[in-house]
Amino acid sequence: MANEINVPQTVEQICNSHNLDREEVILAIEESFQKGAEKSGKEGMFFRIDRKSCEVSAFRNGVPYPMEELNNLIGINGTSTVRSTLMQKINELVVEKSFQKCNQLLNQLVRGTVIQSNGRPGRPTIVRLDNGCEAILPHGEKIPVEGGRENFRQDDHIYALVIGVVKNGNRVKTTLSRTRPLFVKRLFEEMIPDIKSGVVEIKALSRDPGHRSKIAVATDDPKIDVIGACIGYRGQLIREINDVLRHEKVDVIPWSDNIQRLIALALQPADVDEVILCEKLGRAIVLVPRDQRSPAIGKQGENVRLATRLVEWDINIMLREELQDKLNQAQAQFNSIEGVSEKLADGLVGEGFLSYADLSLIETDDLVEIGGISPDEAEAIIEIADERAQVEEQEEEARRAKKREERAREGGYRQQVPPTGDLPDAVSAPNDIPADNQPASDQPASDQPTDDQPTDDQPASDQPTESQSPENPSAPADDDSEGAARE
């Protein structure tokens, strides 16, 4: 059997072709010989390969066994088992080595070259990493751009984050992402020298892929301008990161241990008047001037949503007069609940509870502490608040459904209005106009070009119609600004 397999040559060939450790290969060959002997009915066999000369020695029940006799007895079946077992063991070693090589990159920034990219929507991109591993960038992990997701061409160099490494049969599947917040953090750690050296630290980060990211940074050295260190001279450093992120905007803000100041900084570029913390709810009520409300909330609530994730507080944007109305409404609502005294209502409002929904979320012990009531009374109050909150939610959903129906009806009506050039014959001008009313022309009046008819050098298809006009911008919209502010 050993004569059938040239052990020294096999060891060298496998080590060189698969870059495997010599000891691992020799152990695999020894195990293969063991399987071959068992296949031929030779129980109790043990094989030992010399690590230097690769000479094979056989033992049976601890007694040396002549290799010549073993070769004659094992035959073709045993040799075939040795070869198949060895191939299987080598494949396992290759997969394990590849897995360990890729697994150490988990949650790390990697750079690679695109080796296969299909421009069709929904298709993944195959990338060969700089360490030689192949990885897949799924379509859903690509940065959103206008019209879909980013697309790559073959031989493009890209950065990505390794988010998964799993064994899949005889292969290792490595998955990449360019949409995770950690990807932005790793980019800053790699491309900003002061962060890479540890002088500047990233304290928090939030991201809306393809649109905007917010990152809070800090340093223990008062001489360092943390914002300037991250932006670079004339914005060079931050522009390089923007290019990698497909021109995604990145707001860099200084970290503050004062949560109220941090919230105000996180809502930039909006100017904030006051930040009120409601600690039992984990909510921050942010008062802004009327002209700063829109910048504070941001387009589709993006600014306040990212700020909420950054500081890990629920931020509610309000005008000062809106807060006063909320306070008065909450006071009246809580006073209407049986068992809630005026003092308890004042205490709840003072803690930031502004609705039945807020009160339904309070812990029984907190309500007992605020109102000085028994646990049974507190549970009864919470149950009433929960019932009324559900009723309000149903009413709000009905109101929104009604608005959606109204918009749908208006849209259908606009589509049914015929273009001005296609009016029915019933409203066309009659042909039997008296002679004294005929226009002064050699042609009939119906052949004269009018404002609703195209001239010879202007085709009818170029005439604007009502159905081609943009949708009425004054159509009612669902007022979700308060909901966006709470997000």
β-strand partners of 112: 129, 158
Place of tokens 């075939």: 80
Burial 84-103 (b: 16+ CB within 10 A, else e): ebbeebbeebbbebbbebbe
Output the pTM of the full model: 0.74
pLDDT at 49: 86
* Angstrom distance (rounded) from CA 29 to CA 12: 12
CA-CA-CA-CA torsion sign (158, 159, 160, 165): positive
* Neighbour order of strands in the sheet with 274-278: 274-278, 283-287, 314-318
In the three-class reduction of DSSP (H, G, I as helix; E, B as strand; rest coil), residue 277 is classed as: strand
Contacts 24+ apart (CB under 8 A), 288-294: 288/317, 288/318, 288/319, 289/319, 290/319, 293/317, 293/319
pLDDT at 418: 56
* Angstrom distance (rounded) from CA 405 to CA 273: 39
pLDDT at 432: 42
Contacts 24+ apart (CB under 8 A), 237-242: 237/191, 237/192, 240/191, 241/184, 241/187, 241/188, 241/191
Q: Do 11 and 20 form a contact (C-beta atoms < 8 A)?
A: no
DSSP letter at 446 equals G
CA-CA-CA-CA torsion sign (245, 250, 256, 260): negative
| Closest to 82 in 3D by CA, of 56, 59, 106, 102 | 56
* Angstrom distance (rounded) from CA 180 to CA 177: 7
In this structure, the chain runs to a length of: 487
DSSP letter at 421 equals G
Extents of the domains making up the chain: 7-103, 109-179, 321-394
> What's the CATH architecture for 321-394?
Orthogonal Bundle (1.10)
pLDDT at 70: 62
Cis amide linkage into residue 269, ω under 30° from 0: yes
* Angstrom distance (rounded) from CA 162 to CA 142: 13
In the chain (487 residues long), the average pLDDT of successive 10-residue segments reads 68 86 88 80 80 83 74 63 85 90 94 85 88 92 91 93 91 95 97 95 96 96 93 93 94 96 96 94 95 95 96 96 94 93 92 93 92 92 94 93 88 58 42 42 40 42 39 41 41
β-strand partners of 250: 213
* Topology of the domain comprising 7-103: N Utilization Substance Protein A; Chain:P; domain 4 (3.30.1480)
CA-CA-CA-CA torsion sign (455, 461, 464, 465): positive
- Strand 125-129 with 109-117, pairing: antiparallel
Nearest 5°: phi and psi at 373? Answer: -115, 175
* Radius of gyration over every alpha carbon of the chain, rounded to an integer in angstroms: 37
* Angstrom distance (rounded) from CA 4 to CA 444: 107
* Topology of the domain comprising 109-179: OB fold (Dihydrolipoamide Acetyltransferase, E2P) (2.40.50)
Tokens of 414: 């606009």
| Contacts of residue 71, Cβ cutoff 8 Å, sequence gap at least 6 | 1, 2, 3, 4
- H/E stretch holding 157 reads strand 157-168
- Strand 144-145 with 148-149, pairing: antiparallel
* Angstrom distance (rounded) from CA 129 to CA 159: 9
Query: Please, how many CA atoms are within 13 Å of residue 247, restricted to the half-sphere of its CB?
Result: 3
pLDDT at 74: 59
DSSP letter at 152 equals -
β-strand partners of 315: 284
